[in-house]
Amino acid sequence: MSGENIREMRRLKMTTQLLAIIRYELLWNVRKKKLLGAIAAAFIITTLTLALPVIFGSVYNRPIKSDPNYVISNSGSGSLILFLFALVTTMNSISGEFESGTIIPLLAKPISRTLILTGKIIAAIFTVLAAYSLLYAYLVIGGIILYGPQDNLNLIPLCMLGDMLSTTVWMSIILATGALSKNTTLTTVIGVITFLAANIGTSIISFFTEGAWILHYFPGNGATGYIKTLGIIRSLNLSTGTDNIAKIIIQYMLNPSAHVTYVKIEMGGTQVSPPIFRELYSEPLSLVLFRALVVAATYITALLLLAWYAFKKTQVLE
């Protein structure tokens, strides 16, 4: 048998093993009650987004007007949905195997740890992509029914990819934590604390200090700015962190020459003095998008390599 045939057989064997791992992980993910709960929460949030304007319009006798930009302006999942999907699909992908002891028979098989981890990551991505597909289909159908024909629906696939990239950043954080700690509870606690720090603490830094630029390089919402076109600041604010890649993509596709302007809120000297919004700096929206993509890719690469190294080097005692 030639060397080429041997290599081809090895590739076929690895592909078969990888597909088996992906299938197993997908079935495991589908059976998770936590995943079903996260999907239900996402649908509830989307339903409220769709229905509340209609409800308030009925209460105050204000008819709902046709809005062709409703769906695209409300696309891009919020930070909470991104984090929930990442948490429920990966929080026990590695640590759960060690806690339950299923890692022992799994590693006893002639399958590399690299292949096992790769299969887990791919299965998690497929699971979340399926959830986003359902969620966006629901948003589009609901938007058309309530607000009439919609424009720019061709951007929805880009929104899904942006949300998936944002979610993968949190997946990487949780997978790396799980590989290092081997403890699902600790992994969950660290993940939640990191999420809260990245999204609540950053809001204070973003608006009340001049050091908001550093938030561009941390996961989460990042710094918040305002869209500026033709030198005029619009009322639309935009968070520029890795959690908002989908929204940044939308704004760039709709306003490729726009800039993002960052401001600092300075409180008045007296109780009756209104707060002052002082402009700090402005940068092209194209740069904001490029930086968010690079930062997300850097976190994903570095953290998945850390998870792989920790998983590969862990000693398993029977």
pLDDT in tens, 105-131: 777 777 888 888 999 999 999 999 999
Burial of 35 (0-12, 13-18, 19+ CB in 10 A): buried
Q: Which domain holds residue 13?
A: 3-313
Give domain status of residue 180, yes or no.
Answer: yes
239 pLDDT tier (thresholds 50, 70, 90):
confident
Residue 274 in this model has a pLDDT that exceeds 70: no
Flag whether 214 is in a domain: yes
Residue 9 domain-assigned (yes or no)? yes
Residue 220 falls within a domain, yes or no?
yes
pLDDT digits (tens, 9 = 90+) for 59-69: 777 777 888 98
Q: Classify residue 318: in a domain, yes or no.
A: no
Distance CA 24, CA 17 (A): 11
The distance of Cα 252 from the centroid of its chain, to the nearest Å, equals 18
Contacts of 6 (CB under 8 A, 6+ apart): none
The answer to whether residue 299 sits within a structural domain is yes
Mean pLDDT of 77-82: 87
Q: What is the pLDDT of residue 205?
A: 66
Residue 270 reports pLDDT greater than 60: no
**Do the domain assignments include residue 254?**
yes
Residue percentage of the chain with pLDDT more than 70: 86
The three-class DSSP label of residue 235 is: strand
% of the chain exceeding 90 in pLDDT: 37
**263 has pLDDT over 70:** yes
Does a structural domain hold residue 281? yes
- Tell me the β-bridge partners of 282: 261
The number of domains in the chain is: 1
As a whole number of Å, the end-to-end CA separation of the chain is: 38
